[in-house]
Amino acid sequence: MSKLMRRAGWLPIILFLPLVIFAQDQAWQVVKSTHFNIFYKNAPEDVLNELTQKAEECYDSIADELGFNRFNFWTWDNRAKIYLFDNQDEYIKATQSFDWSGGQVRISAKLIQSYVGAPGFLHNIFPHELAHIIFIEMVGFNNPAVPLWLQEGVATYQEKDIHSIKAVLADKIRQGGYLNLDALSRFAVKGSSDEQVKLFYAESYSLVKYLIAEFGKEKFVLFCQNLRDNRNLADALRRTYSFSSLDDFEDSWKKYILA
């Protein structure tokens, strides 16, 4: 490379530097929809339009599927927040996420974060994380009656690529290889094998599906209200569904899966 070319090569970099610094300091801009404030920096308009439309559709369908559509949680100042970073690098730097992460939620802040073009965000990650927020608003924050499996079950129930897992769970139950309710309640994702984590999510999903498919949305709303008001899982299951105990609930679910 000649000296001249080297110099010519430097020039655009020097000129570009102030722009880069400007881009990093750039303030967030916001678009507001009925239930969301969407913060962005350089996201293209079509991306923002799609996200806004999808977010509202998703809110409506989750509220509808869980029977929460009588309650309009968030408008005006209560809107949930979405931060859409320009790219994966900025997202990971700002959120300290793993490099495979396409999105993350901070439930108590009603905040979902992702980046432009994150794979699977609109169809799976966003519905899952939004369901976490909506469900917790319904049953109350830091409610000891709401185990992780119930939260993940409700959230996974919203994902669009869940296929029938009844047959898989039926085999696990027949072979005695499933996680019983006690094991589900004590389950920690950290330190568990990938297969155990998959089973945890599948069963959590299936238990929620069982309650909604067999007994309907109205009862599920009542169940959530009982959880919120009495803060006791066995009590909420008994009052809402007449399960005499947690064991009774588990046995009924197993019958449903094996039927």
Which spans of this chain sit near Zn ion (rule: CB under 5 A)?
152, 155
Closest CA to 114 of 17, 10, 215, 43: 43
Q: To the nearest whole angstrom, how small is the minimum distance from the Cβ of residue 148 to Zn ion?
A: 9
Q: To the nearest whole angstrom, how small is the minimum distance from the Cβ of residue 203 to Zn ion?
A: 14
Q: To the nearest whole angstrom, how small is the minimum distance from the Cβ of residue 129 to Zn ion?
A: 7
Q: Is 40 helix (H, G, I), strand (E, B) or coil?
A: strand
Q: DSSP assignment, residue 68?
A: G
Whether the Cβ atoms of residue 31 and residue 83 lie closer than 8 Å to each other: no
Q: To the nearest whole angstrom, how small is the minimum distance from the Cβ of residue 114 to Zn ion?
A: 14
Q: To the nearest whole angstrom, how small is the minimum distance from the Cβ of residue 151 to Zn ion?
A: 7
Please tell me the distance from the alpha carbon of residue 139 to that of residue 135, in angstroms, as a whole number.
6
Residue nearer to Zn ion on the CB measure, 155 or 184: 155
| The two structure tokens encoding residue 160 | 């669009």
Residue nearer to Zn ion on the CB measure, 77 or 194: 194
Residue nearer to Zn ion on the CB measure, 155 or 169: 155
Closest residue to Zn ion: CB criterion: 155
Whether the Cβ atoms of residue 159 and residue 121 lie closer than 8 Å to each other: no
Residue nearer to Zn ion on the CB measure, 137 or 152: 152
CA angle in degrees (0–180, nearest 5) for 31-35-38? 30
Residue type, 175: Q
Alpha helices in 110-147 (DSSP H): 126-139
Residue nearer to Zn ion on the CB measure, 152 or 203: 152
